[in-house]
Chain A
């Protein structure tokens, strides 16, 4: 089945220790997104890639970076995690179409704990 895969599902890191979350897709979608979701809140878009074009949201902290080495993979790097970065991180994909906005497909998420 075509899908969006996120690894690991649970990640524990220490305060200030860099961490990388990964996302892969078999849908061949041209857009990949990273969202941060804190408990009982709406997902907050951090950035997205449209093919190789990277688009950062204005309020995304510099501490968060992303890489997309190819169509299938996208990584979220947190350079110096703080306690406030503990959250669920959701990866999503979609195809961009000029006529109709197409639905996003989400991975299962990575729950990040910062100790």
Chain B
């Protein structure tokens, strides 16, 4: 069975600093994808970044980077130069290649302080 664990229910970060949101996963699938989504208070889920299980390089998208450590089954999200607009809930998620069901973690609520 697949499982996503996000151990940080809430985090604070100072504006302009970097922050790491933790995500570990468990799966018996050999090929899978890992995703991070942002959910502001408005409710919409916004796709941020994707990492394939066979990708050797860590994914980056602007201020977002994914620290992928396959042997440790971790896929941490790093947000550089935090902005007030980054305040939101962040979900780590996983889906097996060829599958339809995405498994979500419980989420981390990030608060950016001015």
A binding-site residues for B, Cβ under 8 Å: 31, 33, 40-43, 45, 48, 50, 55, 57, 88, 90, 92, 96, 98-109, 111
Q: How many A-B residue pairs have CB under 8 A?
A: 62
Interface pair B44/A109, CB less than 8 Å apart: yes
> Could you list 19 further interchain pairs (A-B, Cβ under 8 angstroms) beyond the known A41-B106, A90-B45?
A31-B100, A40-B89, A40-B107, A41-B107, A42-B106, A43-B45, A43-B91, A45-B101, A92-B45, A98-B98, A99-B97, A101-B96, A102-B33, A103-B35, A104-B35, A104-B47, A105-B47, A108-B43, A108-B44
Interface pair A107/B44, CB less than 8 Å apart: yes
Q: In whole Å, how far is A30's beta carbon from the nearest beta carbon of chain B?
A: 11
Interface residues on B, range: 20 to 34
For this complex, 21 residue pairs linking A to B, each with C-beta atoms less than 8 Å apart, are A31-B100, A33-B100, A40-B89, A45-B101, A45-B102, A50-B100, A88-B43, A90-B43, A90-B45, A92-B45, A100-B97, A101-B52, A101-B95, A101-B96, A102-B33, A104-B35, A104-B45, A104-B102, A108-B42, A109-B43, A109-B44
Which B residues touch A57, using CB under 8 A? Answer: 101
Query: Which residue of chain A lies nearest to B105 when distances are taken between CB atoms in the complex?
Result: A42
Query: Which residue of chain A lies nearest to B89 when distances are taken between CB atoms in the complex?
Result: A40
Which A residues touch B37, using CB under 8 A? Answer: 106
Known interface pairs A41-B106, A42-B107; A100-B33 also in contact (CB < 8 Å):
yes
B binding-site residues for A, Cβ under 8 Å: 32-33, 35, 37, 42-47, 50, 52, 89, 91, 95-102, 104-107, 109
Task: Give the CA-CA distance A100 to B43 in the complex, in Å.
Answer: 27
- What 10 A-B pairs are tightest by C-beta distance, nearest first? A101-B33, A106-B45, A42-B104, A109-B43, A101-B95, A103-B47, A108-B44, A88-B43, A48-B100, A42-B106
Task: Give the CA-CA distance A72 to B69 in the complex, in Å.
Answer: 38
Interface pair A101/B44, CB less than 8 Å apart: no
Interface pair B50/A103, CB less than 8 Å apart: yes
Which of A43, A48, A88, A92 gathers the greatest number of chain B CB atoms within 10 Å?
A43
